[in-house]
Amino acid sequence: MSKPGVGRRGRNVGQYVASGDWSDYWSTRISRAEKGRIWVRGYPVEELIEHLTYTESAFLLVNGELPDEREAALFDLALRSGMDQEFVNSAACAARFTASAFPDSVVPGLASGMLATGSVTGSPQEPAEMLIEALGWKWTEAEAARKAVDIWLERRGSVPGLGHPIHKEAEPRAVTLRRLALARDGWRAHGRMLDAIEAEIAARKDRKIPINLAGAIGALLADLGFDPLAIGGLGALTYGMSLLAHVVEEIREGVPLRIIPRQLGARYAGPDERRLPPEWKKVRP
């Protein structure tokens, strides 16, 4: 099945080459700038800077419209939920490795951490895509949950948005986000579908595999109407401040040029020592 949001572009460079009309080749609905003036989503930038919070500005930039009070509170909840949890995140480790080799700026470390934020690390994009797809079937929650679990177990052997390497009963950040979202009328159709999928997995395996932070953020932002691509980016940004803290700490207090010694698990698993056959021992020019 196709993923939500894929294949919608409708434009290609060939049509511009064929027509010779490049008038809308570079176009954006996000902002406009002229001499001495800037508008963001149609609003004068000075008004936004003066009157909006960071969360409200971010919502407007990404979603295109100003949030109401409920939406702003829920979006802020999602953005502040990406709290750090030591080294239980490949993105933090990637960021610190890069920072240990490039201590002149935090930017390379931040970039490495962002690049290491994917479906395995804990991006909310796939959970959001799964939930949007499941709701699109227009079935009961239980029926859609069964189908979604079948699809994802067949597709990759696991269901996005569930499970955690150390939090086996409940992921503290996800539990808190869900509780606060429920209190703010923010855990709606996508959140309920994620609950149904969690229950379906528990029934099949006879044990709970809890909703993780990526799943909770994906459900919450999907309920707020964000595009799954934007949800993936927002997931990386929610953890961005944690990455920044890690990178600064690594540069100021860490170990230059980190390695993985045998004492920390590095192990060679290849062939024993061997020699080249005689026919390979040629003198190379």
The domains of the chain, with CATH numbers, are: 37-67 (no CATH), 125-238 (1.10.230.10)
SS (H, E, C) 114-181: HHCCCCCCCCCHHHHHHHHHHHHCCCCHHHHHHHHHHHHHHHHCCCCCECCCCCCCCCHHHHHHHHHH
- Whether 244 and 110 have beta carbons less than 8 Å apart is answered as yes
Give the phi and the psi of residue 33 in degrees, each rounded to 5. Answer: -135, 130
- Which residue type is seen at 252? R
On the question of pLDDT at 1 being above 70, the answer is no
Model pLDDT for residues 78-94, shown as the tens digit of each residue: 999 999 888 988 899 99
Compute the distance between CA of residue 102 and CA of residue 174 in angstroms, rounded to an integer: 33
pLDDT of residue 29: 95
Which residues does 130 contact at the CB level (< 8 Å), separation at least 6?
A: 148, 152, 159, 160, 161, 197, 218
| pLDDT tops 80 at residue 57 | yes
Q: Which tens digit of pLDDT belongs to each residue from 106-126?
A: 999 999 999 998 777 779 999
| pLDDT score, position 2 | 40
First and final CA of the chain: distance in angstroms? 55
The alpha carbon torsion through 43, 224, 154, 88 (nearest 10 deg) reads 90
Instruction: State the angle between helix axes of 240-253 and 228-238 in degrees (0 to 180), rounded to the nearest 10.
Output: 30
Encode pLDDT of 125-165 as tens digits.
999 999 999 999 999 999 999 999 999 999 989 999 999 98
Torsion angles phi and psi, residue 211, rounded to 5: -60, 130
DSSP 8-state secondary structure symbol assigned to residue 264: G
Q: pLDDT of 168-198, one tens digit each?
A: 899 999 999 999 999 999 999 999 999 999 9
What pLDDT sits at residue 168? 87
pLDDT tens across 201-244, in order? Answer: 999 999 999 999 999 999 999 999 999 999 999 999 999 999 99
- CA 133 to chain CA centroid, nearest Å: 18
pLDDT at 15 over 70: yes
By the 8 A CB rule, do 65 and 41 touch? yes
The rounded percent of the chain whose pLDDT value lies above 70 is 97
Enter the tokens of residue 114: 């962002």
Which residue type, as a one-letter code, is found at position 218? G
Amino acid present at 19 = S
pLDDT at 5: 47
> Does the pLDDT of residue 3 top 50, yes or no?
no
* pLDDT at residue 8 in the model: 57
Tell the residue number behind the tokens 């959970």, with chain if given.
Answer: 127
The two three-digit tokens of residue 4, written as one number: 């939500």
With a cut of 90, say whether residue 73 has pLDDT above it.
yes
